[in-house]
Amino acid sequence: MPFTREIIWRTPAIIYLEKAIDYIREDSVKNADIVANAILSSIEKAARFPEHFPPDKYRLNNSGSFRAFEIYSFRVSFYYNSEILRIVRIRHTKQKPLNY
């Protein structure tokens, strides 16, 4: 079984995800659950296999430790090392990209 890193969330990332899921839930509880489960499942996969995801193209001076993926129109950026996976940012893909 692959090693799983500890997942740490930055506060703005979890707040954004909660608000986004609440917004989706206003129209459809089922869709909100599908999106939330897909994002969380992908984060769990990233904790085991971070190299599976491409380097984050919006990270300035990225040495390769910042990666990102898109799922259901959400872009999840994360940092990893041998012990942790830190969720740095979650944004809707329709938002203007921000370098960081």
Give a yes or no: residue 98 inside a domain.
no
For the stretch 2-14, pLDDT in tens is: 678 999 999 999 9
Is 97 part of a structural domain of the chain? Answer: no
Dump pLDDT digits (tens) for 74-85: 999 999 999 999
Q: Does any domain span residue 24?
A: yes
Coil, helix or strand at residue 45: helix
Q: pTM of the entire structure?
A: 0.91
Cβ-Cβ contacts under 8 Å for 75 (sequence gap 6 or more) = 68, 69, 89, 90, 91, 92, 93
Residue type for position 74: F
The number of domains in the chain is: 1
CA distance 45 to 2: 10
- Structural domain boundaries, residue 60: 6-92
Decide if 82 is inside a domain.
Answer: yes
CATH (domain of 12):
3.30.2310.20
Is 15 among the domain residues?
yes
pLDDT in tens, 41-75: 999 999 999 999 999 999 999 999 999 999 999 99
Does any domain span residue 1?
no
**Side-by-side strand order, sheet with 74-80:** 6-9, 84-92, 74-80, 66-71
Quote the tokens at residue 82. Answer: 């041998």
Is residue 71 situated within a structural domain? yes
In a domain, 75, yes or no: yes
